[in-house]
Every structure is written in structure tokens, then in C-alpha cells.
Amino acid sequence: MTPLSDTTLLPADGPTAPPRANGELVFDAPWQTRIFGATVALCEAGRFEWPEFQQRLINAISAHEAAIDAETPGEGSDYDYWGCWLDAFRSLADAHGWAGAETLHDMEHELEARPVGHDH
């Protein structure tokens, strides 16, 4: 195969780096893996239909791209795909009453207040 390399399409390294071979990791951080797994698990449990999440993801990506364009025209390096996914999931959880803004904020606050090294 001819790997994508030395191109002007995308940066050579960093989060949007092109693949060098089949089967490279698609997640850059554990939270990305986790939010992906939670979304699919929740869908498979029949809690929502995928197109609903998909539309929220499209909206989040569209808003994110508009924000990036406003800040750095023509630059895609700050692109945060999994941040968009997380935003879409948060809005899904909010809309279904699973995690309203206040409830989520309280839980985040509780987790942040844990002592350093809590889970090591």
C-alpha cells in the first residue's frame, strides 16, 4: 500500500496525523475510548436510536468547525473530534433527562475534588 505521507493534506504528527499502516489506534486518550464505548453500549441497550446521536454529532462538529474557522482561518490543527463526540453525547444525555446541566456539573465537581492519585 501507499501510506499517506509527506502531504500537504494533513500534518505529519499530532492528533490528526494520517495513518502509517492498517489498524493504528483511533483513540488518543482513555476518555475518548470510554465515551465511544458508553455511546455504543447505551444504543445497544435500546436507550436511543443512532440517528439521534448522529444528528447531534453533526451539529457539534458544525459548531466546532465554525468556531475554529473564526479563530484560525484555514487551519485545522485544533480540531477536536472526540470533544465534539463528547458534546453530542452530553446533549443526548441532557435531552433524555439522564444528566441535566446541574447534575452533571455537581458530579464533575465531586470527581475533581478527589485527592490526587485517587485511582492509582
Partner 1 sequence: MSHDHDPRAIRTEALERLLVDQGLITSAAIDTIIERYETDVGPLNGARVVAKAWTDSEYRTRLLNDGTAAIAELAIGGAQGEKMVVVENTPDVHNVVVCTLCSCYPWPVLGLPPAWYKDPAYRSRIVREPRKVLGEFGLTLDDNIEIRVWDSSAEIRYLVLPERPESVIDDDEEALAELVTRDSMIGVARIDA
Residues near partner 1, by CB under 8 A: 1-5, 7-10, 15-19, 22-24, 26, 29-31, 33-38, 40-45, 47, 50-51, 54, 57-58, 61-62, 65, 68, 76, 79, 81-83, 86, 89-90, 93, 98-99, 103-104, 107-108, 110-112
Q: Which is nearer to partner 1, 95 or 98 (CB)?
A: 98
State phi, psi for 88 to the nearest 5 degrees.
-65, -40
Which of 112, 61, 106, 68 has its CA nearest to residue 88? Answer: 61
Rounded distance between C-alpha atoms, residue 1 and residue 20, angstroms: 10
Rounded distance between C-alpha atoms, residue 105 and residue 107, angstroms: 5
CB of 71 to partner 1, least distance (A): 13
Q: Which is nearer to partner 1, 34 or 95 (CB)?
A: 34
